[in-house]
């Protein structure tokens, strides 16, 4: 009905109420400028900070936001909206402004990561997908950063495509984890699309398909002369390690030296020690040990603390689904309309009014505290939100993904020590300014007065 439909590029991938509201705004002639801000309400107990990610996909989405003729024809056929609204949707383009924290920036609860300022129907319609894009990459980058901090100097690879929630999640998890400091991914399109190094070895099925491990290893060596990494846990890990030792001289003589072995089951630390001893005993000290299977940042930290001889890790499910906390309490909220600040007061979900900015202070090169204030204020410190789009177009090239990765590395290095640890840290100070507090009170007062007026 919609032709070749790619949900990742479709403006129709939205909640129905966005279209209903746009319809009402059009009828009411409400097209004044609105500002919406995206933020996360709370830090989960198992996170000490967030990492900004996903801005590049948001900008691409906004620059290309339009309905296809197939989508418009379907919308018209539903009878939900009058022809004037269908025409309005046909002409839909995002013409607004975006200010945002660059990807790789560390941030905290209640801090706006991104602000959209555009005619109300435009800023409203893009809500669902904009949250969908930012939420996921922030979720994964914030999780990946914990693993990067837990295992300094280790090779960290994203192996999580298969259990990621769908195609886009698999691909963008590779992006977000590399941004946060991972070494690479197994997900192939991450290389041509994002320039991320890709890695891969073999599966158990490869070993099983041959009559013996020996034959499987020999065959793999014939086709992978450069980076021969052998999976050794299909039947008996230590026996396979001894087989590697036995085969190594001949493989090296043929120009295919064994570079590494991979463990994927059982007690990884115990197997790694046993395998290291077997390899070292045969003089194969340069053969690296990789491990995968059920890893998370806590196990990485324990391995590092205990000196487990594993050189690199393939992390799957816990990374790409952020298993311990698979969703953040984030929102995209109206903060100003037609020049007037707005505020929601719903219980437990009250928001700060007005277009805002975050200023960060440093002491001895470490982050020392943020101020949350109104965008028009002047405050000391480094403003974190920068102009990104004007008139519906990016104002210049975005930082490359490699630059975002470098920024993230600098930010992680600048975190206070307590926040770099996996354990819950005392809250990082984020202080609302006096002007912001005063505005929130004024908004509440005005709303109460208006509620008491009778028409």
Q: Which of residues 357-416 bind a copy of itself (CB under 8 A)?
A: none
Question: Closest Cα to residue 303, out of 84, 152, 120?
Answer: 152
In whole angstroms, what separates CA 107 from the centre of its chain?
A: 13
Q: 158 - beta bridge partners?
A: 185, 315
Token pair of 362, please? 């440093």
Stretch that binds a copy of itself, among 108-116, 202-210, 386-394, 432-440 (CB under 8 A): 202-210
Q: Which range of residues in 260-268, 275-283, 389-397, 404-412 is near a copy of itself by CB under 8 A?
A: 260-268
92 touching a copy of itself, by CB under 8 A = no
Nearer to a copy of itself, 38 or 428 (CB): 38
How many CB atoms sit inside 10 A of residue 349's CB? 11
Q: Which residues, 1 to 40, sit near a copy of itself by CB under 8 A?
A: 1-2, 4-10, 12-21, 23-25, 27-28, 30, 34, 36
Instruction: Kindly tell me which of 311 and 337 has the beta carbon lying closer to a copy of itself.
Output: 337
Cβ(24)–Cβ(79) under 8 Å? Answer: no
Number of C-alpha atoms within 13 angstroms, CB side, residue 395? 11
Using the minimum distance from each CB to a copy of itself, give the nearer residue, 168 or 406: 168
Stretch that binds a copy of itself, among 218-226, 272-280, 282-290, 370-378 (CB under 8 A): 218-226
Residues near a copy of itself (CB under 8 A), total: 113
Residue 52 vs 139, nearer CB to a copy of itself? 139
Min dist CB 355 to a copy of itself, Å, is 14
- The yes or no reply on residue 78 touching a copy of itself (CB under 8 A) is yes
Q: Using an 8 Å Cβ cutoff, are 336 and 35 in contact?
A: yes
Indicate which single residue of 152, 307, 348, 426 sits in contact with a copy of itself (rule: CB under 8 A). Answer: 348
* Binders of a copy of itself in range 283-322 (CB under 8 A): 317, 321-322
Strand 33-40 to strand 114-119: parallel, antiparallel, or no bridges (unpaired)? antiparallel
Smallest gap, in angstroms, from Cβ of residue 178 to a copy of itself?
14
| Site for a copy of itself, residues 127 to 146, rule: CB under 8 A | 127-129, 131-133, 135-136, 139
Return the closest-CA partner of residue 356 out of 83, 159, 154, 100. Answer: 100
Cβ of residue 161: shortest distance to a copy of itself, in angstroms? 5
CB closer to a copy of itself out of 182 and 199: 199
Compose the 322-341 pattern: x for residues touching a copy of itself by CB under 8 A, - for all others. xx--xxx-x--xx--x----
Q: Which is nearer to a copy of itself, 2 or 438 (CB)?
A: 2
| Closest CB to a copy of itself among residues 168, 377 | 168
Query: Which C-beta is closer to a copy of itself: that of 328 or that of 415?
Result: 328
- SS3 category, 115: strand
Decide if 282 contacts 248 (C-beta within 8 A).
Answer: yes
- Find, among 356, 319, 318, 316, the residue nearest to 334 by Cα: 356
Strand partners of residue 115 = 37, 99
Tokens matching residue 385:
């939100």
Residue from 45, 69, 152, 211 in contact with a copy of itself (CB under 8 A): 211
When the beta carbons of 77 and 429 are compared against a copy of itself, the nearer one is 77
Q: Does 189 bind a copy of itself (CB under 8 A)?
A: yes
DSSP run (H or E) holding 33? strand 33-40
Q: Which is nearer to a copy of itself, 166 or 429 (CB)?
A: 166
Site residues for a copy of itself, 220-249, by CB under 8 A, read 220, 222-224, 233-236, 239
Contact characters 429-448, a copy of itself, x per CB under 8 A: ------------------x-
User: Rounded to whole angstroms, what are the CA distances from 72 to 45, 77, 197?
Assistant: 44, 8, 40
Say whether residue 179 binds a copy of itself (CB under 8 A). Answer: no
Longest dimension (CA), the chain: 92
Per the document, the length of the chain is: 455
Chosen residue from 42, 93, 214, 410 binding a copy of itself by CB under 8 A? 214
In angstroms, rounded to a whole number, what is the distance separating the alpha carbons of residues 171 and 166? 9
Q: What is the DSSP string of 237-301?
A: HHHHHHHHHHHHHHHHHTT--EEEEEE-SS-HHHHHHHHHHHHHHTT-TT-EEEEESS--HHHHH
For residue 244, give the nearest of 284, 207, 199 by alpha carbon. Answer: 284
Taking CB under 8 A as the rule, does residue 453 contact a copy of itself? yes
Evaluate the CA torsion angle 208, 213, 214, 217 in order and state its sign.
positive
Nearer to a copy of itself, 145 or 334 (CB): 334
Q: Does 349 bind a copy of itself (CB under 8 A)?
A: yes
Residues 6+ positions from 265 with CB-CB distance below 8 Å? 233, 237, 293
Interface pick for a copy of itself out of 42, 87, 188, 366 (rule CB under 8 A)? 188
């Amino acid at each position: 009905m919609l032709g070749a439909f790619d949900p990742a590029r479709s403006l129709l991938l939205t909640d129905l109420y966005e279209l209903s509201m746009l319809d009402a705004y059009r009828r009411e002639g409400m097209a004044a400028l609105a500002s919406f801000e995206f933020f996360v309400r709370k830090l989960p107990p198992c996170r000490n900070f967030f990492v900004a990610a996903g801005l590049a996909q948001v900008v691409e989405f906004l620059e290309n936001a339009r309905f296809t003729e197939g989508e418009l024809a379907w919308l018209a056929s539903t009878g939900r909206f009058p022809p004037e609204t269908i025409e309005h949707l046909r002409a839909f383009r995002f013409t607004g402004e975006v200010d945002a924290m660059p990807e790789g920036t560390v941030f905290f609860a209640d801090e706006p990561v991104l602000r959209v300022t555009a005619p109300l129907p435009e800023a409203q319609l893009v809500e669902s997908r904009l949250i969908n894009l930012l939420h996921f990459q922030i979720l994964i980058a914030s999780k990946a950063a914990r693993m990067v901090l837990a295992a300094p100097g280790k090779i960290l690879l994203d192996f999580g495509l298969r259990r990621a929630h769908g195609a886009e999640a698999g691909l963008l998890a590779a992006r977000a984890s590399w941004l946060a400091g991972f070494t690479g991914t197994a997900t192939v399109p991450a290389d041509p699309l994002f320039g991320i190094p890709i890695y891969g070895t073999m599966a158990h099925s490869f070993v099983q398909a041959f009559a013996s491990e020996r034959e499987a290893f020999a065959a793999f060596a014939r086709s992978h002369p450069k980076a021969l990494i052998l999976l050794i846990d299909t039947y008996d890990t230590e026996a396979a390690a001894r087989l590697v030792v036995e085969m190594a001289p001949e493989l090296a003589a043929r120009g295919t030296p064994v570079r590494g072995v991979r463990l994927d089951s059982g007690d990884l630390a115990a197997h790694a020690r046993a395998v290291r001893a077997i390899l070292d005993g045969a003089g194969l000290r340069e053969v690296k040990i990789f491990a995968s299977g059920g890893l998370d940042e806590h196990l990485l930290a324990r391995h590092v603390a205990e000196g487990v001889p594993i050189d690199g890790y393939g992390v799957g499910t816990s990374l790409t689904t952020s298993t311990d906390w698979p969703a953040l309490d984030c929102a995209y909220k109206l903060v100003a309309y037609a020049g007037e600040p707005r505020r929601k007061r719903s219980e437990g979900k009250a928001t700060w009014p007005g277009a805002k900015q975050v200023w960060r202070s440093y002491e001895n090169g470490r982050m020392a505290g943020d101020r949350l204030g109104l965008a028009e204020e002047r405050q000391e410190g480094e403003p974190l939100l920068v102009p990104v789009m004007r008139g519906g177009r990016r104002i210049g090239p975005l930082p490359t993904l490699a630059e975002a990765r470098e920024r993230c590395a600098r930010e992680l290095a600048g975190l206070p020590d307590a926040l770099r640890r996996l354990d819950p840290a005392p809250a990082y100070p984020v202080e609302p300014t006096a002007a912001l507090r005063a505005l929130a009170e004024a908004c509440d007062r005005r709303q109460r007065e208006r509620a008491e007026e009778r028409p």
